[in-house]
């Protein structure tokens, strides 16, 4: 049994079907990536897994438990965390307050304090500026905060939506190496990325999404070397 199983998932906004029946799994310990052009349905998929959107049809199972009809808070408490597209940190709250919000369902004060220290070990800049408003952080630093906040729920599955969006090449590298470190530490990750090269390089499995469908699946390695992927997503002709 995979950690996450998605079967024939369909999601619509009114009459517009954004996800048209996709199936994939995420095994514990894996990094799985969804790549694809704008509007393919990647964010819609993650938002549905988080319980923020209701599927039209299909089955979502997490650790063998159905997620259909389960509320967003309960889904976090079951171990699924989401670092959303555009980061969505709270700019007026301090960095530390943002991290604490990631632990809003936990009651173990000592454990939360320890995890905040872990976040500062992983991202020293967050510790140095912990009392400052999060809105003063650069885009890349805000991404670190968004990931740190998602990790505060001690997730079994971490979903990252476009973590490298809008970042300089150096910051993108830093974020990607953080994802590699998390993977090496055993974190299971579902990664949505525009940067297909970077995402496929570190993913165990990948799926190409096009207008609501998965059109190609393989190991990260296979997709990296696939001719159609290279043409469409890696800028080769
Ligand atoms: N709130 C909404 N209401 C109506 N349509 C929406 C809404 N959100 C997304 N859509 C549409 O659903 C489709 C899938 O959007 P989605 O954001 O999931 O794509 P994506 O793969 O994440 O794209 P991107 O790479 O640009 O982030 C698009 O056609 C989009 O316009
Ligand atoms: Mg998106």
Atom of ligand 1 at shortest range from CA of 36: 21
Ligand nearest to the CA of 214: 1
Q: What is the pTM of this model?
A: 0.95
pLDDT at 236 over 80: no
Atom of ligand 1 at shortest range from CA of 194: 25
Structure tokens at 152: 């505060």
Q: CB within 6 Å of ligand 1 — which residues?
A: 13, 16, 18, 36, 38-44, 85
Atom of ligand 1 at shortest range from CA of 85: 27
pLDDT at 194 over 90: no
**pLDDT recorded at residue 175:** 92
Burial class (CB in 10 A: 0-12, 13-18, 19+), 73: exposed
pLDDT at 237 over 70: no
Q: What confidence tens digit (pLDDT) does each residue in 78-88 have?
A: 999 999 998 99
Contact assessment for residue 169 and residue 161, using Cβ atoms and an 8 Å cutoff: no
Ligand nearest to the CA of 14: 1
181: CA distance to ligand 1 center in Å?
30
Name the percent of the chain lying above pLDDT 90: 92
**C-alpha–C-alpha distance, residues 129 and 144, integer Å:** 13
Atom of ligand 1 at shortest range from CA of 16: 5
Strands 80-83, 205-210: pairing kind: unpaired
167: CA distance to ligand 1 center in Å?
21
For ligand 1, mutation pick of 11, 15, 16 (most atoms within 8 Å of CB): 16
132: CA distance to ligand 1 center in Å?
33
Phi, psi of 115 (to 5 degrees): -70, -30
SS3 label, residue 119: helix
185: CA distance to ligand 2 center in Å?
27
Q: What confidence tens digit (pLDDT) does each residue in 8-46 have?
A: 999 999 999 999 999 999 999 999 999 998 999 999 999
Name the percent of the chain lying above pLDDT 70: 99
Q: What confidence tens digit (pLDDT) does each residue in 97-155 have?
A: 999 999 989 999 999 999 999 999 999 999 999 999 999 999 999 999 999 999 999 99
**pLDDT recorded at residue 234:** 80
Q: Where do we find the tokens 């953080």? A: 178
For ligand 1, mutation pick of 12, 19, 42 (most atoms within 8 Å of CB): 42
């Amino acid at each position: 049994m995979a950690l996450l199983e998605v079967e024939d998932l369909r999601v619509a906004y009114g009459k517009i079907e954004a996800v048209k029946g996709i199936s994939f799994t995420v095994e514990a310990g894996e990094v799985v990536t969804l790549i694809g052009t704008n509007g393919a349905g990647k964010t819609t998929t993650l938002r549905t897994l988080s319980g923020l959107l209701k599927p039209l049809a299909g089955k979502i199972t997490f650790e063998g438990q159905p997620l259909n009809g389960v509320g967003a808070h309960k889904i976090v408490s079951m171990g699924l965390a989401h670092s959303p597209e555009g980061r969505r940190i709270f700019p007026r709250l301090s960095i530390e307050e943002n991290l604490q919000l990631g632990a809003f369902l936990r009651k173990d004060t000592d454990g939360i304090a320890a995890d905040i220290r872990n976040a500062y070990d992983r991202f020293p800049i967050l510790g140095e500026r912990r009392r400052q408003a999060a809105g003063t952080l650069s885009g890349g630093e805000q991404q670190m905060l968004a990931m740190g906040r998602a990790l505060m729920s001690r997730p079994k599955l971490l979903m990252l939506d476009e973590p490298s969006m809008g970042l300089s090449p150096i910051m993108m590298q830093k974020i990607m190496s953080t994802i590699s470190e998390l993977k090496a530490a055993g974190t299971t990750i579902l990664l949505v990325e525009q940067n297909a090269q970077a995402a496929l390089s570190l993913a165990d499995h990948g799926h190409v999404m096009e207008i609501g469908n998965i059109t190609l699946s393989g190991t990260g390695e296979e997709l990296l070397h696939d001719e159609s992927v290279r043409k469409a997503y890696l800028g080769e002709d």
